[in-house]
Amino acid sequence: MAIRVLLVDDHVLLRQALRLILSGERAIEVVGELGDGVMVEETVTLLAPDVVLMDISMPGVNGVDATRSLLRNQPAQRVLVLSSYNSKKLVAELLQMGARGYVLKSTSADELIGAIKQVANGGIYCSPGLEADLERDEIGSRAPHALGQREKEVLSLLALGKSSPQIALELQIAASTVDVHRRNIMGKLDLHSVAELTHYAVRTGMISI
């Protein structure tokens, strides 16, 4: 029985390349594709893939939030993250929420195929050098789910370089409210500058650069 794989990535060319690579492996069948994380849960329910190959940075719902929501409701689903972000902290966060592996986009086709097979067989796989320390890690207190929806919106706009008045105009709230949200975000994440907030937002897939 072939391993059923669902591809979730916003880059069409990459999905086409992945489909081509995986279709050349008799033991793997690509059963579907998505360009963002919005319909992941519904598609998993419909197609019943063995492995979801999940990108991190996507429009709409990013891979971190999509993985969290999916595994909260379907904890047995095997998710293998495929990302360009080389971050042990991000790896630790995703594995702690239930993902089964993390593979860099710079990996070889053979390594990716091997990772899919390992995850499908119940194992956990991380690209060399990204093996995460699954003991208590500081990223746990900085996870995106610690933020409210409005705080996530403010953080994303801050990370895109927008000022408090610009954010206030876009979100139709007072500039003073934006400043309150910024202080709360920095307090929750223990970050102390816009540069640190921007790095965090990129690393967790809240924005892409």
Query: What does the domain layout of the chain look like in residue ranges?
Result: 3-126, 147-203
3-state class of 80 per DSSP? strand
Identical fold between 3-126 and 147-203: no
What pLDDT score does 136 carry? Answer: 36
Q: What is the DSSP letter of 6?
A: E
Type of residue at 60:
G
Higher pLDDT, 133 or 20: 20
Q: What pLDDT, in 10s, does the model give residues 51-77?
A: 999 999 888 889 999 999 999 899 889
pTM over 0.85: no
Asked if 178 contacts 171 with a C-beta cutoff of 8 angstroms, the reply is: yes
pLDDT at position 187 over 60: yes
CA 136 to CA 101: how far, in whole Å?
18
147-203: which CATH topology? Arc Repressor Mutant, subunit A (1.10.10)
CATH H superfamily, domain 3-126: Response regulator (3.40.50.2300)
CA 192 to CA 53: how far, in whole Å?
34
Q: What is the DSSP letter of 2?
A: P
Instruction: Determine which helix (DSSP H) or strand (DSSP E) holds 184, and give its type and residue range.
Output: helix 175-189
CA 19 to CA 24: how far, in whole Å?
9
Higher pLDDT, 1 or 39: 39
